[in-house]
Amino acid sequence: MNNIERRLFQTFMESGGNARDEGAVAGLIDCVENTLLVMPTRVRTAVEFFWRGSDGISYEEVAARLRRRERTAVTVAAAQQRVSRGVRRLEEVIRRQKWKRPATANTPPPTRGER
């Protein structure tokens, strides 16, 4: 898991998501994927390199890939800015979601009729 994925999962858990709940994690992945679809192309592409890429990907590598893909000069700072902008947007969307919170010791489990 790279730093971007870790940051998104941390936001998910801080927002009430349960990383041990497969359904909630699938919901997080869907949320990220759907949000990526509506991002501006340059931001989406930069974030996707981290979201879909390997754990060891660097901003230098992302900038190089963006340069090849866009056939334009993309600095490391520009790549970092694009990723940062996209991740902030993803965190905002994740925080707005209503994640199913696990039952705690003080909260009784739902009765049969409440499920």
Which tens digits make up the pLDDT trace of 84-104? 999 999 999 999 998 876 555
Start-to-end Cα distance in the chain: 33
Average pLDDT, the chain: 88
**Per-residue pLDDT for 17 more than 80?**
yes
| Sign of CA pseudo-dihedral 100, 103, 107, 109 | positive
Two structure tokens written together for 35: 């949000």
So where are the chain's domains?
Answer: 3-97
**Per-residue pLDDT for 64 more than 60?**
yes
